Every structure is written in structure tokens, then in C-alpha cells.
Amino acid sequence: MHVMSADADVRTQFNSLVGDLDYPMFIVTTRSEAGERAGCLVGFVTQCSIDPPRMLVCISKANRTYRAASAAQALGVHFVPSTATALVELFGGRTGDEVDKFACCEWREGPAGVPILCECRNWFVGSVIERLPLGDHVGFVLDPVEVQHEVPQAEFTFHRARRIEPGHEA
């Protein structure tokens, strides 16, 4: 067991500790009030209430999707299957500043105009009920308005996604 000394770099040690976690990755999509589609790969997603049901989705302020989501009324949260490597590379390794990601994949329009990725068979769309500043990310508290849960599936995990060069720094 490694216990930090008083002069140890807490941030480095903390990043090392949480870097061992292998949590699922998600793709978040939205449509801005101006009609702009955006989406990105995210790892910071968690259920934050059972009754009423709520999810917290955190998006980096550096991300183009954050700019679109900052005034959007809803977000789509896609549970990424372990087989969706190309989709993860598209939404995690490309930036919407340079490429129309939705021209490179199959999608359909969902509630509130939110793009739904056809390759992700499990997803939900949530109304944004609160935005919380959380350091370099903003947390979006979502109230689910539509859910698709077709099949249990293995998730695409953080350790598999780590090798992708991000389209934007976090």
C-alpha cells in the first residue's frame, strides 16, 4: 500500500489512482437552439438520483459539443457497445470543428431534434434541468424523456478508449 507523504504531488497520485478505473464510455449528442448537431465521447456519466430518475453527464468546456449543449434543451446519451470501435474513434478522435461527424455515421432524429446513433441500441434522451460548473467540465443534470433499452451488452470501456488521440484536449 502506498500512502502519500506530505510533500507528494496529490494531483499526480489522484490521477494515477482514478486512471486504474475501467468505466464505460458514452457518446453524447445534441442539437443546439440554432439547429447545429454535435456529439462527443464522454466518460464522466453517472446516475445521480433514483426517484426522480436523473443522470449527470459531464462535458469538457474545451469541446465543441459543450458549446452546442450550453443552451440546448436536451442531450442524447448513447451506451456504446464494445464492438463500436469506429464510432468511438469518430466521436472521440475527431472534432466537429473540422468534420461533420454525422455525415460519417448512421443516425436518425430523436426527441427535441437530438441525433440518435443507430449503432447504439441502448440510449436515452434527457431534458437538461440543470448545468453545474465542475472545474474544466460542466455537469448537465438530465431528466429522461425517452429511453431505448433493446439488449444487455458489453460496454466500450475507458482503457480501450485511452489509445484514441482526442479531437480536443479535456
Give the pLDDT mean for 125-146: 97
In 3D, which of 51, 22, 40 has the Cα closest to residue 78? 40
pLDDT at 169 over 80: no
Give the pLDDT mean for 60-68: 93
Separation of first and last alpha carbons in the chain: 30
Structural domain count, the chain: 1
* pLDDT at res. 30: 97
pLDDT at 90 over 60: yes
Residues contacting 112, CB < 8 A, separation 6+: 31, 72, 73, 74, 125, 127, 145
* pLDDT at res. 165: 66
* pLDDT at res. 6: 46
Q: Is residue 121 part of a domain?
A: yes
Give the C-alpha separation, 35 to 30, whole Å: 9
Give the pLDDT mean for 63-79: 95
Q: Is residue 19 part of a domain?
A: no
**For residue 13, which phi and psi values (nearest 5 degrees)?**
-65, -40
pLDDT at 7 over 70: no
Determine the 3-state secondary structure of 114 from DSSP. Answer: coil
Read off the pTM.
0.87
Looking at per-residue pLDDT, the higher value among 95 and 3 belongs to 95
Q: Is residue 109 part of a domain?
A: yes
- Domain holding 99: CATH number? 2.30.110.10
Q: Is residue 161 part of a domain?
A: no
Give the C-alpha separation, 24 to 159, whole Å: 9
Looking at per-residue pLDDT, the higher value among 151 and 25 belongs to 25
Residue 61 burial (CB count, 10 A): 15
Q: Is residue 158 part of a domain?
A: no
Enclosing domain of residue 115: 24-43+63-128+147-152
Looking at per-residue pLDDT, the higher value among 31 and 168 belongs to 31
Give the C-alpha separation, 28 to 58, whole Å: 10
